[in-house]
Every structure is written in C-alpha cells, then in structure tokens.
C-alpha cells in the first residue's frame, strides 16, 4: 500500500493492477492530481521533492518512452538516464523499460504519537 506518482496513462493501469493509490490518471475531473504529475516530472528535482512531500508519495514510476521531449535538467530526464535525486531509490524490475523508484524515508515529517 502507498501512493504512486506515474504518468497519467500508467496511473490508470496501476489503479486496476495494484493496491496503490495514484496521484494522476486520465480522468478529466482530477485536475489537481494530473497537474501534480506534470509538475513533478517536467520540473526540477527540488520541485519534485515538494510534490512528493505534498502528496506523501511512496513510489514513482516512469517508462522509457514517457516524456520523450523532456528538457535536460527535468526530473523525468534524470530518472530515465539513471541519475535520480538522493531522495529516490531505484527498485529493480524485470521490465527494462520501466523505472520504478521508492521515496526514501525521512522525507516526510514524523506524525506525532497519540
């Protein structure tokens, strides 16, 4: 269980194939979540960490052909070339064209004890 941020069309598959919550999927009424996906992947890594904190992400997924025209310096480009920021750790998959990352613990503030 946890929350996944992935490109919109991949998010739709994750809803049906996993127990994960997704931030964005190709549904027109999820403007806030869908915009967060684009800001995450097409922004700088420091913008990505803000999105990760806001949405309390556990996982990030991206395929090799997603955001093909992403500019140098964007988080999508860094992830696809295997240079994630320190707050993301690659999870090996059998599918070579799928990049799966786990958001590192300690990124989010601890919840107060009850």
Residue 30 — very low, low, confident or very high, per pLDDT cuts 50/70/90? confident
Q: What is the pLDDT of residue 29?
A: 80
Q: What is the pLDDT of residue 39?
A: 96
Whether residue 69 is predicted with pLDDT greater than 90 in this model: the reply is no
Q: Render pLDDT for 38-65 as a digit per residue (tens, 0 to 9).
A: 999 999 998 999 999 999 999 999 999 9
Between 3.40.50.12610, 3.20.20.120, 3.40.50.10680, 3.40.50.10420, what CATH number should domain 3-103 receive? 3.40.50.12610
Whether residue 21 is predicted with pLDDT greater than 60 in this model: the reply is yes
Q: Render pLDDT for 76-106 as a digit per residue (tens, 0 to 9).
A: 999 988 899 999 999 999 988 999 999 997 7
Count CB neighbours of 90 within 10 A.
12
Boundaries of every domain in the chain: 3-103
What are the C-alpha distances in Å from 62 to residues 90, 92, 106, 112?
11, 13, 23, 33
Mean pLDDT (whole number) for 13-38: 90
- CB of 54 closer than 8 Å to CB of 107: no
């Amino acid at each position: 269980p946890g929350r996944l941020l992935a490109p919109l069309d991949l998010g739709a598959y994750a809803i049906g194939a996993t127990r994960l919550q997704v931030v964005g999927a190709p549904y027109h009424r999820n403007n806030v979540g869908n915009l967060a996906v684009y800001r995450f992947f097409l922004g700088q890594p420091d913008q990505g960490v803000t999105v990760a904190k806001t949405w309390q992400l556990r996982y990030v997924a991206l395929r090799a052909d997603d955001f093909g025209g992403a500019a140098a310096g964007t988080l999508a480009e860094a992830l696809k070339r295997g240079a994630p920021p320190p707050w993301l750790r690659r999870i090996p998959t059998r599918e070579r064209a799928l990049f799966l990352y786990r958001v590192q613990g300690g990124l989010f503030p601890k919840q107060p004890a009850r």
